[in-house]
Structure 1
């Protein structure tokens, strides 16, 4: 995190770049929606009829990016004009400004941070990848709290978003930052091992409202810990010692909510964050991932510090995996992997059963392909599910999630199609927004940390796929 670097760092280049206000017209873009064995379809965002347009939602773009200043993170509104030091997210200052020297040092530190890791993906995505990394670094606070976005109802820490960011940072060479996120999540965890849907970023450890517990947080936390350990540099002993109680509590929590006979977990909200009356695929798949990840974590622990507790984690994780797989097969696989147990409509949760989260399965791939078609939106991105509001809005996290799973599954054409769409629908400041309206305009907030992390992971998977091909 840039804010933790010394203020005495030698200053960098004062050359600045201008962040413009939102463009007055939307860019026409196209996207790929290609399934294996299905003919390629190029969908161009066109002009709907007046009656179609009237039912599409209008959402403002409330932030186009965030910048760093010596006093913290500052939101850049949609129509703001602000400069940044070149190669950084630090707000540009001029000589004579009382904070100029501090800003120079901050920009130099962030450029060094960026250079210390990997900028993943093909060169045509280089600008998007660099900006996504800078945005994650900007939204990561000194104590390890990660903001979902810089303003409004998004200026909180979601365990899911933070876990994905930790994995993206670990896989791009920023393992110390990933560890700080994990340790902060461990501090937020309740004594019973569960996580709230989101938390205030003020160090209080309190939720901002009564959304309550969201069980998938434990699965994402265990997965992120396993990915961090796999890519950790140096001796991980100190972090492992601090994480150990939280990992055990997370596994305890998954065991507690999983029926020992049926394998079904308790009903819980998932990434849709609405009240549920039935188990969702998004929830059970995250818990299944956690059960698998804790086994990987135990296997990757250094032999000298693993001890009996690692073997116990692996044993318990394996038993949980069997039970949860049983429930997935009975309640979801036999129905074509719908959103709800025994339901019919598909949603993005099916992607959590795709690589890199799970081994490739033909039935899952077929459902994932159908979901991509049913979730398609006018501008070319995806909605969270087939049953989502017909408001014409594309959601970048779900689009990026499908790009990630396509890349991990070796579907280069589809992965690059979605990544190109995401690249073309960034804000004028270069950040990835949460939403894209029917006509291609970015909307809601930017940057969104979950989307930034997913895009980086998709680009990492493209790199690894290219390496394995050679």
Structure 2
């Protein structure tokens, strides 16, 4: 995830459960207690000057409190990414499935001993009953893998893809909530991240799980078709007041179209589309409303940078374009020509507007300056065909976003801290594979594979020295890896 506010340090990790071996480390040393002064405190100064200074201090404190959210959450602020200026610790080494099947964190610095083909910890031979229960859970996991496919199962990324699938499954809760991660500030459902996981699940044959995710998103969507930036895992609403994030509506339509496309036959697609009809209709109508303007461009909104925006970003416009094109295909599948035509016509207008206003450089804003990872959203698999001049802009953006350790930053204008972000790196591997640039896709995938945690999880970040950092695993990165390798394995078009 790329929200700077979530870069604040996590709390101390819990003690390792059975199946984990904690490394030795130095004991905590308590800070020395400050000696209490025996000198009597002087009487307070009641002078006018002191009162003025108190007012000035109070005003400064008030201004600081008002500015505090901006200072912490806007990457353009000098205090943004406080925990990522030079060093971010690894919050967890991975995720494990506990005795009751619920996920739990593997502490950082500890390599999990998973039973084969699972995220179930090996309790060891000391407790035969616990071992039998664990083996039963692991067998279910192996059956689940066997029921689908593992892209690249005979290739160099087989282990990484298998681990990514198992991590996505562990992060998918019983109610269809696909949480971004298991650490405290990531245990929420982002419509964008969940959409990618749904597509990855469907692509690998796990369509039941994919549909569960879409049903969850249908349940939390507002009546007007909008989505909050993120949701509590129980579906009761957002965890905070971040507000609406427009790109979510586009991502959900893109995912719905892709999931329907992976169902086995027309009858299954019709049943699924009917059960998702509220999601499809509300999402399409919302994007049509947002783009019902002379320019056809939507209003400004926060996007994957997850900061407030006064100007429209490519990260908002491009997913909405993808959503409209997806809606046109969905309604065609439903044999409903009127809404299909309306969505298609608006998609054509929005596509032309994006090319005119953002092209040919396709920067983050219409000024064409610094590019960011939204350039990838102009290419397959998010658009049926790449927008004019989008491929060279995408290649240029990768050079501008490159980090010394080998991965990518979220954008050329992101904080210059040498930290690579795996969501964007794996996203670019996916788009590279989707446009036939196999060498670039393999290069990024190989880099991600080499920077996983000891337990095999893909971390959110990689430091300049190559160390995995922040939350691990991250569902968005895991999904992009699965989709990228699947795209590499797909037969060439034509």
TM-score normalised according to structure 2 size: 0.80
**1:161 deviation in Å?**
0.4
The answer as to 2:297 corresponding to 1:264 is yes
Determine if contact 2:19/2:121 at 8 Å carries over to the other structure.
no
Considering only aligned residues, what root-mean-square deviation do their CA atoms show, in Å?
2.1
Describe the superposition over 1:261-298 as per-residue Cα deviations: whole angstroms up to 9, x where unpaired.
11110110100000111111011000000000111222
Cα separation, partners in 2 of 1:23 and 1:362, compared to 1, 3 Å: farther
**1:454 deviation in Å?**
0.4
CA–CA distance in structure 2, aligned partners of residues 444 and 213 of structure 1: 26
CA–CA distance in structure 1, aligned partners of residues 338 and 94 of structure 2: 45
Cα separation, partners in 2 of 1:91 and 1:313, compared to 1, 3 Å: farther
SS of match in other structure, 1:123:
coil
What does 1:115-130 correspond to in 2, within 5 Å? 115-121=146-152, 123-130=155-162
**1:22 deviation in Å?**
8.4
Describe the superposition over 1:87-135 as per-residue Cα deviations: whole angstroms up to 9, x where unpaired.
1101222463665443322111111101111111261110001000000
Cα separation, partners in 2 of 1:82 and 1:432, compared to 1, 3 Å: closer
CA–CA distance in structure 2, aligned partners of residues 296 and 175 of structure 1: 19
CA–CA distance in structure 2, aligned partners of residues 386 and 136 of structure 1: 29
The answer as to 2:482 corresponding to 1:468 is no
Determine if contact 1:23/1:428 at 8 Å carries over to the other structure.
no
CA–CA distance in structure 1, aligned partners of residues 340 and 486 of structure 2: 27
SS of match in other structure, 2:114:
strand
Asked which structure has the greater RCO (Cα within 8 Å, sep 6+), the reply is 1
**1:80 deviation in Å?**
3.3
Match of 2:183 in 1: 151
Match of 1:35 in 2: none
1:141 to 159, 164, 173: 173
CA–CA distance in structure 2, aligned partners of residues 23 and 450 of structure 1: 32
1:292 to 325, 329, 334: 325
1:431 to 457, 460, 466: 457
Cα separation, partners in 2 of 1:58 and 1:166, compared to 1, 3 Å: same
Cα separation, partners in 2 of 1:295 and 1:22, compared to 1, 3 Å: farther
SS of match in other structure, 2:304:
coil
Match of 1:222 in 2: 253
CA–CA distance in structure 2, aligned partners of residues 251 and 361 of structure 1: 21
The answer as to 2:374 corresponding to 1:345 is no
Match of 2:425 in 1: 399
Q: Any stretches of 5+ residues in structure 2 without a counterpart?
A: 1-17, 26-83
What does 1:194-273 correspond to in 2, within 5 Å? 194-204=226-236, 206-233=237-264, 235-273=268-306
Match of 2:448 in 1: 422
Q: Any stretches of 5+ residues in structure 1 without a counterpart?
A: 1-16, 25-54
- Of 354-363 and 324-333, more deviation after overlay is shown by 354-363
SS of match in other structure, 1:66:
strand
Aligned length: 413
Match of 1:45 in 2: none
SS of match in other structure, 2:113:
strand
SS of match in other structure, 1:388:
coil
1:333 to 354, 359, 369: 359
CA–CA distance in structure 2, aligned partners of residues 395 and 268 of structure 1: 22
CA–CA distance in structure 2, aligned partners of residues 217 and 409 of structure 1: 24
The answer as to 2:61 corresponding to 1:61 is no
